[in-house]
Amino acid sequence: MTVRAYVAVGANLGDARATVLRAMTDLGFLSEARVVACSSLYRSAPVDATGPDFINAVVELETGLAPEALLQELQRLELGAGRERPYRNAPRTLDLDLLYYGDVVMETDALTLPHPRIHERAFVLLPLAEIAPGRVSDATLKRVADQCIERL
């Protein structure tokens, strides 16, 4: 059995554009996963963080991995891209966030689904709306309209 999952992809250190594009490709090579759709790339100012602008996108996956196993694979890709976590919201070489895993609602120490801050962040909502418009309401998009974001 497979599930549709949505993964936010972002980076703001090094060649962020190349890193995001590579991560979007690498997601298709995960065990028991297939890329269904990829959004355009977006440039956005950091939210609750410092550092250079981010390059962001969202990828839709079809996966047979359990949510926790998928999260572990995402973290493995982050580490492979040199991700370090020196402090909360530090600039990053790669950030992969599991936004949705089907309609699963769960909260553990390691994973909360759906991602708890989706509705606050234009850099997630705009690319998500591009590939899964049913997941994002017009009202939600209006609430983040003041955030600086540019489709590349």
Q: Label residue 91 by pLDDT band (50, 70, 90).
A: low
Is the pTM value of this prediction over 0.85? Answer: yes
CA dist., res. 36 & res. 46, Å (int): 27
Q: What is the distance between the alpha carbons of residues 103 and 84, in angstroms, rounded to a whole number?
A: 30
What confidence tier does 82 reach under pLDDT thresholds 50, 70, 90?
confident
> Which residues are the active-site residues?
83, 92, 95, 97
The more confident residue out of 144 and 85 is 144
Alpha helices by DSSP H, 42-115: 67-80
Query: Residue with structure tokens 């950030």?
Result: 95
95-135 pLDDT per residue, tens? 999 999 999 999 999 999 999 999 999 999 999 999 999 99
Number of domains in the chain: 1
Which domain CATH number covers 37? Answer: 3.30.70.560
pLDDT in tens, 1-44: 899 999 999 999 899 999 999 999 999 999 999 999 999 999 99
The pLDDT of 70-99, averaged and rounded, is 82
Q: Which domain holds residue 57?
A: 3-151
Taking residues 44-58, what's their average pLDDT? 88
